[in-house]
């Protein structure tokens, strides 16, 4: 039996505020196109089943567009005779029992099995059992659900089992994304006689045990992923062979920094233009650091030149590091587009605890989300390509 292992599609993710001629966010459309392209590749590979290890959607309350894109591609897989197994992840799972999962809309689809109820579920697909442990509300729940899985396996014969989970294994905890509901997976989960372990949450492709892999995301979401090759995994459950299948071209560039020590503004401009031309930034997401830069040179940078480069790229982020300031290591901050999800989780938790009355819950959520959107838009407007 052969399966395709994928994860972290994050349908509905948008960024940068650039829209196409229909008014749709270009970054968001790239994610949809990448998902459809992945399904094209899966259909060409013709596996027996597809396993999606969490975070199909970027938000717990996806809009109509990501739901539609998901349904259309799900139907394509089913029509091709490919079984589908899905679990919820920390992004698309409600953070309380009171809320309805978006996956409720797809329950009952022939050929599609979805685990999203915060507990272990077992699905028989082909000649294997797929043990699914979706996102759980507390870290302690994973051990309990894993115990239930082991008890069920002891009652069954054959031992042809696949485990599907979403979270970060202990060995990769230093690479955590610091997102809502990010839970650690104990190393003990990776031991035993399971045929294969399909993991989601970590966006890079990585083998973390003899039979355990992260498929990674198909899209680039953070600059820390810029050097990754994005794709899916084709797994032969009989031989244990795992083949990395590239799907996405590399469209995110984290360029080598330019040492601006002693350079004039004109020389800095020439350096920026040269590196962008050499690497090719057209319709790509690009980050460039300017180190040891004088404030005078930065103030004199041409807005026209930087503006032209930003028009060519989908997104160009230029980070100045001034010579009169201590150098700071570039880290991945909490992104503005993640704030609504963080706020929604907070409101759900407060409402579940009784701090927010049910009668005003939606009003609080709506007002807070709108306010965060305004702040985010204002910050984007105030950010200059270069100072005047």
List pLDDT tens digits, range 110-168.
999 999 999 999 999 989 999 999 999 988 999 999 999 999 998 887 679 999 999 99
The predicted model gives 342-350 an average pLDDT of: 68
Position 183 scores a pLDDT of: 79
- Report CA-CA distances (Å) from 272 to 226, 262, 275, 319: 19, 15, 5, 12
Beta-bridge mates of residue 161: 129
| Mean pLDDT over each residue of the chain, to the nearest integer | 88
Which DSSP state fits 57?
B
| The residue to which tokens 């026209």 are assigned | 304
Residue 302 CA to residue 3 CA, distance in Å, equals 52
| The residue to which tokens 């990010």 are assigned | 182
Q: Are 268 and 305 in contact (CB under 8 A)?
A: no
Residue 75 CA to residue 94 CA, distance in Å, equals 24
Q: Please give the radius of gyration of the chain, using alpha carbons only, rounded to the nearest integer.
A: 23
Better pLDDT: 319 or 187: 319
Alpha helix positions (H), the chain = 26-45, 64-79, 139-155, 265-279, 295-299, 303-312, 339-352, 358-382
Classified as helix, coil or strand, 170 is helix
Exposure letters 237-263 (e unless 16+ CB within 10 A, then b): beeeebeebebbeebbbbbebbebeeb
Q: Are 242 and 213 in contact (CB under 8 A)?
A: yes
Residue 388 pLDDT more than 50?
no
List pLDDT tens digits, range 56-101.
999 999 999 999 999 999 999 999 999 999 999 999 999 988 899 9
Strands of the sheet with 206-209, listed across from one edge: 121-125, 128-133, 161-166, 196-200, 212-214, 206-209
Written as six digits, the tokens of 60 are 């717990």
Pairing verdict, β 121-125 and 128-133: antiparallel
Question: What is the percent of the chain with per-residue pLDDT over 70, rounded to a whole number?
Answer: 84
Instruction: Report residue 174's pLDDT band, with 50, 70 and 90 as the boundaries.
Output: low
Residue 252 pLDDT more than 80?
yes
Pairing verdict, β 285-293 and 315-322: parallel
Q: Are 128 and 82 in contact (CB under 8 A)?
A: no
List pLDDT tens digits, range 289-338.
999 999 999 999 999 999 999 999 999 999 999 988 765 555 555 555 55
């Amino acid at each position: 039996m052969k399966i395709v292992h994928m994860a972290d599609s994050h349908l509905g993710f948008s960024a940068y505020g650039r829209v196409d001629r229909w008014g749709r966010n270009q970054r968001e459309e790239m994610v949809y196109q990448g998902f459809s392209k992945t399904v094209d590749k899966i259909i060409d590979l013709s596996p027996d089943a597809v396993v999606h290890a969490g975070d199909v959607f970027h938000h717990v309350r996806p809009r109509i567009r990501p739901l539609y894109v998901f349904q259309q591609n799900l139907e394509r897989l089913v029509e091709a005779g490919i079984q589908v197994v899905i679990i919820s992840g920390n992004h698309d799972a409600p953070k309380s029992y009171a809320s309805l999962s978006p996956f409720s809309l797809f329950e009952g689809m022939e050929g599609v099995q979805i685990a999203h109820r915060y507990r272990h579920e077992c699905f028989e697909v082909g000649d294997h059992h797929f043990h699914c442990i979706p996102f759980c509300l507390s870290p302690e729940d994973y051990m309990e659900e894993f115990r239930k899985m082991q008890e069920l396996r002891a009652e069954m014969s054959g031992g042809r089992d696949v485990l599907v989970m979403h979270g970060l294994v202990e060995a990769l905890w230093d690479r955590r994304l610091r997102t809502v509901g990010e839970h650690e997976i104990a190393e003990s989960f990776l031991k035993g006689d399971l045929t294969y372990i399909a993991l989601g949450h970590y966006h890079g492709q990585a083998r973390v045990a003899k039979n355990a892999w992260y498929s990674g995301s198909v899209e680039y979401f953070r600059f820390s992923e810029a050097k990754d090759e994005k794709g899916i995994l084709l797994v032969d459950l009989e031989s244990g062979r795992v083949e990395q299948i590239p799907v996405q071209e590399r469209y995110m560039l984290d360029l080598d920094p330019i040492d601006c020590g002693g350079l004039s503004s004109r020389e800095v401009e020439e350096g920026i233009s040269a590196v962008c031309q050499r690497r090719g930034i057209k319709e790509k997401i690009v980050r460039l650091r300017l180190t040891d830069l004088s404030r005078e040179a930065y103030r004199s940078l041409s807005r026209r030149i930087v503006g032209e480069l930003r028009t060519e790229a989908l997104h160009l982020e230029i980070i100045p590091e001034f010579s009169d300031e201590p150098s700071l290591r570039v880290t991945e901050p909490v992104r503005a587009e993640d704030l609504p999800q963080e706020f929604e989780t907070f409101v759900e938790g407060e409402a579940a605890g009784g701090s927010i009355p049910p009668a005003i819950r939606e009003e609080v959520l709506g007002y807070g989300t709108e306010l965060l959107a305004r702040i985010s838009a204002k910050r984007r407007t105030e950010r200059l390509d270069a100072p005047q």
